[in-house]
Amino acid sequence: MLTLPSMWNLIISTLVFFITAWYFNRYLTEQGIPKGITRGILVFVLASLVSWGAGEVADCAQEKIDGPQPAAQTTDGLLQLMKKTDQSQP
């Protein structure tokens, strides 16, 4: 399940991807570069990089607002659960 910070990352990076792809397509059209697979790949890669950067900025901002997120649970919790259900190895 996605947590709230990762949900914001997903929403922001998706919006930034589409806006950036539209902008790069418009810019390349104005420059007279013909549409084709190479141009499509270029737009995709550039929009992906900008989108990734925006997602990282969103994560960084969320971490500064909320503080560091707790670390993932270790296997100790799983071992305790297995002992409680008598499924642990001898």
Q: What is the pLDDT of residue 1?
A: 42
Judge whether 78 lies within some domain.
yes
Q: What is the pLDDT of residue 85?
A: 72
Contact status, residue 87 vs residue 53, Cβ threshold 8 Å: no
Judge whether 58 lies within some domain.
yes
Name the strand (E) or helix (H) holding 59.
helix 37-66
Range of the domain at 29: 4-84
Write out the chain's pLDDT in tens, 90 residues. 445 557 888 899 999 999 999 999 999 999 999 999 999 999 999 999 999 999 888 888 877 777 666 655 555 666 676 777 765 455
Q: What is the pLDDT of residue 71?
A: 59
Contact status, residue 62 vs residue 17, Cβ threshold 8 Å: no
Displacement of CA 26 from its chain's centroid (Å): 25
Instruction: For residue 57, give Cα distances in angstroms to 12, 52, 53.
Output: 10, 9, 6
Judge whether 90 lies within some domain.
no
Q: What is the pLDDT of residue 68?
A: 67
Judge whether 89 lies within some domain.
no
- CA gap 35, 25 in Å, rounded: 9
Q: Which two tokens stand for residue 2?
A: 């996605």
Instruction: Count how many domains the chain has.
Output: 1
